Amino acid sequence: MKTRNNHEIMKSLNHEIENYSWGVLQDMIEREVNAAFKLRVDPVMPSKKEIKRIIRDTVKGERQKKVMAKQSPKGKESKKEEIRVKSG
């Protein structure tokens, strides 16, 4: 009778350990899945109108820089200096 009780105790203990192990494994899997599919907040994107305005302003600014560089005598002098440095 005593061996029967020990056997039953060991059997139920093994069953509890096995259930606990599966619980741990399921928790690990759940954490990995949640991390993989974690929802991220998308950054706020500018509207199409804002993008066009940014591009237009940038292009206008660059064109003005080129025009100013061609018109200013300093721009010509700096080009001559660059040529001297390259050839000298």
For the whole model, what pTM was predicted?
Answer: 0.35
One domain for residues 6 and 32 = yes
| Mean pLDDT within 62-69 | 89
Q: How far apart are CA 55 and CA 62, in angstroms?
A: 11
Distance of CA 68 to the CA centre of its chain: 40
What was the pLDDT predicted at 87? 55
pLDDT digits (tens, 9 = 90+) for 18-62: 777 888 888 899 888 888 887 666 678 889 999 999 999 999 999
Give the chain's domain count: 2
One domain for residues 36 and 54 = no
18-34 b/e (C-beta count within 10 Å ≥ 16 → b): eeeeeeeeeeeeeeeee
One domain for residues 52 and 30 = no
What residues make up the domain containing 3? 1-40
One domain for residues 76 and 36 = no
What was the pLDDT predicted at 55? 94
pLDDT band at 83 (very low <50, low <70, confident <90, very high): low
DSSP class of residue 37 equals T
How many Å is the Cα radius of gyration of the chain?
Answer: 37
Judge whether 87 and 79 are in contact, CB under 8 Å: no
